[in-house]
Amino acid sequence: MSASPEQLLALVRRSLDTGTGLAAECYREPAFFALERERVLRPGWHAVARWDALPEAGEHMPVDLLGEPILVVRGEDGTLRAFSNVCPHRGHIVAGDRGRAKTLVCPYHRWAFGLDGALRAAPLMDETPGFDRARCGLTKLRTALWQGFLLVCLDDATPDVLPSLAPLDERLADAGLAELVEIGTLEFDSAWNWKVMVDNFMESYHHLGIHVDSLQKTHPAKGTYGVEGDGPFAILENPGVEEGDHLLVAQVFPTLLFSIVEGIRFGVWYEMQIEGPDRFRLVIHALAPPELARAEGAPAALMGQVEKIHHEDIAACEGVQRGLASRIWRPGPLSVKELCLARFHRHLAQRLGA
């Protein structure tokens, strides 16, 4: 029998009270996912693109954000905007694919929208009494450009995100994250809960296990520590063995995950396109300074490393997801190395009203 929302929220409270990880139900139950989609995910700010995506005016790409079809468009003025990708006429998807165009034309009845979303043409509609073109543009979504990420929020009631991230900006002041360009992407269908990915990303404790032959050599588990901060984010520091290896790992709640090696300024952004309680599409974006992006062989070598590490993490996340199917298991204590997980779980509890 599945648990009621009250029982699920009580499980979250209990894990915070006892210093353990979250109960299996929080990663597995469709009812928990429904709660978290409404109270945590839909009201959240989510990264959908980097600043250098879609460089030419008129370039656009559809993105599925929590089941909401959205369209990211580079305007004539160079601004990156996000719109609902659902046609204001009868609800067809406006742009099904990436492309470049002067106007965005819905294929169903050929209503055409400017790159600013305004309705430019609607065949035969002038014959319709009372038709008000000005009210029939694409719905513009709230966006913010933060450290090179285009953030989108689907909820008008959510406060602006930038002020709350000021303390994280301070930590990132010398990292140069905002200028990094995308040098490649890797995509994976991931058959586990999105929070399993977050928990994995936000601790380096597992370097001594799953990554014993790779990251443990450069960024051992022992030296890592989470940082308490004031805002909707978590920061994990990993000094690394060599000078310049310092790794900064961060989560902007709920879904933005990124890390940066501060010496070479090489970063990754783990974009989770969440599809359900037990699956998401992961797009790993590799980020680097323009000069590194141009250095012969460097991007390919870096992408190779990212892929190798992620294959190790796939094994970890799949192993956890399998374990979460157990009805015997109860969550164990989080270590001091897992401070960021506790912080994230507190955020969830607060947003869920647990």
Interacting residue ranges for ligand FES, rule: CB under 6 A = 87, 89-90, 92, 106, 108-109, 111
The site string for Fe ion over 265-304 (x = CB under 5 A, - otherwise) reads ----------------------------------------
CA distance 303 to 152: 27
106 binds, among ligand FES, Fe ion, none (CB under 5 to 8 A by kind): ligand FES
Quote the least distance from Cβ 125 to ligand FES, whole Å.
Answer: 9
Query: How many chain residues touch Fe ion (CB under 5 A)?
Result: 1
SS3 label, residue 235: strand
SS3 274: strand
* Beta carbon of residue 159, minimum distance to Fe ion (angstroms, whole number): 32
Measured at the CA of 162, the angle between CA 158 and CA 163, to 5 degrees, comes to 90
Minimum distance, C-beta of residue 136 to ligand FES, in the bound complex (Å): 10
| Closer residue to Fe ion in complex, CB, 111/270 | 270
Q: Closest Cα partner for 99 from 109, 87, 85, 111?
A: 85
Cβ atoms within 10 A of the Cβ of 230, count? 9
108 binds, among Fe ion, ligand FES, none (CB under 5 to 8 A by kind): ligand FES
Name the token pair of 289: 């300074």
Instruction: Select 36 or 313, whichever has its Cβ closest to Fe ion.
Output: 313
Q: Does residue 313 belong to the site contacting Fe ion (CB under 5 A)?
A: yes
Cα 13 → chain centroid: 25
Nearest to ligand FES of 88, 220 (CB atom): 88
From 36-44, 113-121, 259-267, 312-320, give the range in contact with Fe ion by CB under 5 A.
312-320
Task: Rank residues 271 and 313 by Cβ distance to Fe ion and give the closer one.
Answer: 313
Question: Judged by CB under 5 A, which stretch of 231-239, 264-272, 296-304, 310-318 contacts Fe ion?
Answer: 310-318
Amino acid at the residue 180:
L
Output 19 or 96, the one with its CB closest to ligand FES. Answer: 96
Taking CA atoms, 299 is separated from 38, 183, 218, in Å, by 39, 6, 19
- Exposed e or buried b per residue across 309-344, where buried means at least 16 C-beta atoms within 10 angstroms of its C-beta: bbebbbebbeebbeebeeeeeebeebeebbbbbbbb
**C-alpha–C-alpha distance, residues 49 and 148, integer Å:** 9
Nearer residue to ligand FES within complex by CB, 111 or 266:
111
Minimum CB separation from ligand FES for residue 119, in Å? Answer: 10
Considering CB distances under 5 to 8 angstroms, the limit depending on partner class, which of Fe ion, ligand FES, none binds residue 279? none
Which listed option, Fe ion, ligand FES, none, makes contact with residue 313 (CB within 5 to 8 Å by class)? Answer: Fe ion
- Residue 306 C-beta: closest distance to Fe ion, Å: 11
Find, among 112, 61, 66, the residue nearest to 89 by Cα: 112
59 burial level (CB within 10 Å; 0-12, 13-18, 19+): middle
Considering the complex, state which of residue 212 and residue 292 has its C-beta at the smaller distance from Fe ion: 212
